[in-house]
Amino acid sequence: MNMDILIAPIIIFMIIVAPIWLILHYRSKRQVSQGLTDEEFGQLNELITKADKMSQRIETLEAILDTEAPQWRGRDV
């Protein structure tokens, strides 16, 4: 009687859940191994360009602050 309670969920798992789980797992593995799509590669390059521009702006702002308020780096936020 106790075994019947355990066998039914195991059978349901093996018939329904396990195959779906395996299919989704190997599909995601295949997508990861294929690498970036052209769209993702373009987005990555765009983000790199924006990060470079932001870095240049930060350097410019720090240079301005160094000139106008030399003690700004020591201030607590």
The radius of gyration computed from the CA coordinates of the chain, to the nearest angstrom, equals 28
pLDDT tens string 10-66: 888 899 999 999 999 998 888 777 777 889 889 999 999 999 999 999 999 999 999
Decide: helix, strand or coil at residue 69: coil
How far apart, in whole angstroms, are the C-alpha atoms of residue 14 and residue 63?
A: 65
**Helices and strands counted in the chain (H then E):** 3, 0
How far apart, in whole angstroms, are the C-alpha atoms of residue 30 and residue 20?
A: 15
pLDDT at 1 over 60: no
DSSP, res 50: H
pTM over 0.75? The answer is: no
Give the tokens for residue 14: 């093996």
